[in-house]
Chains A and B, each alone.
Chain A
């Protein structure tokens, strides 16, 4: 018996040994590299790999930031009637009613998620490229560091947007290793987050090249501009306070230091990189009222003509036909006459009076809303729009203005906008009336609406700017005004005048550049006009604590938005409570996440 047993196991051992030596019995059988996909451990080899991965982060950044214009609805001059995107095209809310001047603070849960998506994608690049650095050759080192710099810039921009809306937010700067990694995160105080963003921006400033390696990628001016903008916002919060953010103690000295840092960064962007405004900041030419053969340069700044221009400090690129990566500016800003667009974005009546006269450099007599087409200064009298800031004709259309109609990639001829008349042709001509029935203000956009055929409404190839030089100019002036308390230096006045020159406006009168409030008002005026419908106004109103001023304060009658005929359209902040304003100043931490993570606190007005 015993012998049999031995021989039996001996045979077994021999058999196992045989199998192991000649067939597929191997270590880590279940831990092999996949044969159909590239494993992460095999991927990160060269600078090209790092760049490819970086594009994944840019893709998410575009997903989050290339439809900023919708957010202009949070201000008082743009009506975001709705949006054209589905949730797969942008992280912004897809529900039309979330973009009014009030009641938006609890509608941005998906946006919050999308911003952290960008943080994660940037983390993935940063962590993996960092691992490549020790073994990288000297020649590829700067390139790899620049990739990390770009990823850190993108991550910083994501956090910057997060703190601008939610105040304190969690910092998640590691690639997760388990699905539960982020289940117990806590919100970090805004100052800690700001320091983390600054560290990212500092690295980017240090490592990025002076000029971008390709259109759509960021270079040093972008990093400096965003660092400046972060400091400008930090200064604003510290100066003006943020009472809705628990635990935030504004500090005057923090504010001054931040404004000073912002001032220096913007100054460097302006002076050190040879950047100029689009077409040298010349106003260009303008056509007669009612004609649009010749449009000012400011109009072309928002067409593909400006792609890759020096003014565009940071942009997100878009494909054209067949790429499925087109922008939808025409679809959002155009009317039915422009490739059957939908007119989701509309000017409000109140913007019109913001456009100054080229003759005096100051405001025109206020328009009189009326249905009388010949009334002096009447809102539908075309002559009321004579000699206006060139940016007016470039941005909006009023009664009697024309634009190029397009359909199915072809020009259909001129179409004339006349509020409340949306079909038929102009008597005695073959010019069609513009079917722009979605406006309720009496104006429609020209800005962002291409005047050429060849691209469908969802096939745009314009590179959306999230940072452009004119904004830097105005931010410099603002920061300079803060640190000099109303005695701005020559450059600050000059850059504002450069922006004004684009509208063919004369330089600011001396009274408007001296004294803190005067110069601030002049800068605010330029920000409203120059950055119109680019999504900045709501953020400006909040950091300047101006919502009550614009909408009439707690318990007030609210403020109507009207149309060119004088009819009331929509009233905002009627009988508004203190809570209504608080909820406009700070956003709600997504409650679904708070349900699963008790560590996550809620902002005061949303408790």
Chain B
């Protein structure tokens, strides 16, 4: 892995270190590809399944390695997260927690190392990957009977966790140039909305911190594509001076099954990229002369 050299703060104000070969990362995995095609009388059908699993592990790092999302014997860019006990409802909740400047409506963080304060040392390392899933899979089903054909395509992935933190659930909104959704009105905790599913507005900055409160399993199964077609038999078409006629209906992104609360579990998370995934429906008529 070619990375910039780690260099002391006493030098890097004047010197920029060269890149060098710093560590060894091992990737291990399996891939699977299964196909089944059969014809039974007028019906033909088939299944395609492909899946891959890949796990990486950092084996060697030949210089100082600080606290962060890279560490020995861990996957590269793992989830390293604060752990919280949810939204404080009462002052009693706050007195019961490690002092952290919170008020009711704020998230309460766990003091994992027990030193009486919340800081970067209180994060917990997990072997979950943050940027890529470990497992990807896709299934393609198709069937045809007489003139009718049907194809369904599913994709899915698992083994990735990420935080749902973007500008749509930012709890400290700017007083200018901010797009405000109904969620921001309805979801935050308030004294008259104690069951609110988000921390309060304008509370601690930490309410949008990378903590287990916002950490979601990015596993998903998505019905990516479905297509239904009907080819009108030639003897009918030929009566209308045409050679072929086919009707087809297809739909993209019909359904996604996931626990992720954000927009699209397939994408890399980005706080500002909040363009939603489109569903699209197509109806096509194919006429050949």
Cα–Cα distance between A172 and B14 once the two chains are bound (Å) = 13
**Quick one: given A120-B15, A179-B17, are A596 and B66 in contact (CB under 8 Å)?**
yes
Interface residues in A172-217 (C-beta closer than 8 Å to B): 172, 176, 179-183, 185
| Chain B neighbourhood of A595, CB < 8 A | 66-67
Interface residue? A397 (CB, 8 A): no
Interface residue? B11 (CB, 8 A): yes
| Chain B neighbourhood of A591, CB < 8 A | 120
| Chain A neighbourhood of B42, CB < 8 A | none
Contact B11 A593, beta carbon cutoff 8 Å: no
Q: Which of B2-10, B139-147, B245-253 contacts A (4 or more CB under 8 A)?
A: B2-10
Interface residues in A247-277 (C-beta closer than 8 Å to B): none
Chain A's closest residue to B18 (CB) is: A179
Contact B7 A116, beta carbon cutoff 8 Å: no
Contact B14 A593, beta carbon cutoff 8 Å: no
Question: Separation in Å of the A346 CB from the closest CB of chain B?
Answer: 16
| Chain A neighbourhood of B289, CB < 8 A | none
| Chain B neighbourhood of A179, CB < 8 A | 5, 7, 11, 17
Question: Separation in Å of the B101 CB from the closest CB of chain A?
Answer: 11
Sorting the interface of chain B by its residue count into under 10, 10 to 19, 20 to 34 or 35 or more gives: 10 to 19
Cα–Cα distance between A574 and B199 once the two chains are bound (Å) = 23
The number of residue pairs between A and B whose CB atoms lie closer than 8 Å in the complex comes to 58
Contact B14 A112, beta carbon cutoff 8 Å: no
Cα–Cα distance between A375 and B245 once the two chains are bound (Å) = 87
Chain A's closest residue to B13 (CB) is: A117
> Which single member of B5, B9, B15, B120 contacts A593 (CB below 8 Å)?
B9
**Quick one: given A592-B66, A595-B66, A596-B66, are A112 and B9 in contact (CB under 8 Å)?**
yes
| Chain B neighbourhood of A170, CB < 8 A | 10
Cα–Cα distance between A179 and B15 once the two chains are bound (Å) = 9
Interface residues in B46-65 (C-beta closer than 8 Å to A): 64
Question: Separation in Å of the A604 CB from the closest CB of chain B?
Answer: 15
Tell me whether chain B's interface is mostly helix, strand or loop, or mixed.
loop
| Chain A neighbourhood of B38, CB < 8 A | none
Contact A116 B13, beta carbon cutoff 8 Å: yes
Interface residue? B12 (CB, 8 A): yes
| Chain B neighbourhood of A400, CB < 8 A | none
**Quick one: given A120-B15, A176-B15, are A182 and B10 in contact (CB under 8 Å)?**
yes
Q: Per-residue 0/1 for A104-128: is the Cβ within 8 Å of any B Cβ (1 yes, 0 no)?
A: 0000010011111110110010000
Chain B's closest residue to A63 (CB) is: B13
Interface residues in B1-42 (C-beta closer than 8 Å to A): 5-15, 17
Chain B's closest residue to A181 (CB) is: B11
Q: How many residues of A contact B (CB 8 A)?
A: 29
Interface residues in B117-155 (C-beta closer than 8 Å to A): 120
Cα–Cα distance between A590 and B9 once the two chains are bound (Å) = 9
Cα–Cα distance between A590 and B120 once the two chains are bound (Å) = 13
Interface residues in A47-103 (C-beta closer than 8 Å to B): 60, 91
Question: Separation in Å of the A187 CB from the closest CB of chain B?
Answer: 11
Interface residue? A597 (CB, 8 A): yes
| Chain A neighbourhood of B10, CB < 8 A | 116, 120, 170, 172, 182, 185, 593
Contact A120 B13, beta carbon cutoff 8 Å: yes
Question: Separation in Å of the A572 CB from the closest CB of chain B?
Answer: 15
Contact B13 A118, beta carbon cutoff 8 Å: yes
Cα–Cα distance between A580 and B122 once the two chains are bound (Å) = 22
Question: Separation in Å of the A32 CB from the closest CB of chain B?
Answer: 19
Question: Separation in Å of the B45 CB from the closest CB of chain A?
Answer: 60
Those 4 A-B pairs whose CB atoms lie nearest each other, nearest first:
A117-B13, A120-B14, A182-B10, A182-B8
Q: Please, could you name 21 A-B residue pairs with CB atoms under 8 Å apart, sorted by A?
A: A60-B14, A109-B9, A112-B9, A113-B13, A115-B13, A116-B10, A116-B11, A117-B13, A121-B14, A124-B14, A170-B10, A179-B7, A181-B11, A183-B8, A185-B10, A591-B120, A592-B9, A593-B8, A593-B10, A596-B6, A596-B66
Using a CB–CB cutoff of 8 Å, the interface residues on chain B facing chain A are 5-15, 17, 64, 66-67, 120
Using a CB–CB cutoff of 8 Å, the interface residues on chain A facing chain B are 60, 91, 109, 112-118, 120-121, 124, 170, 172, 176, 179-183, 185, 590-593, 595-597
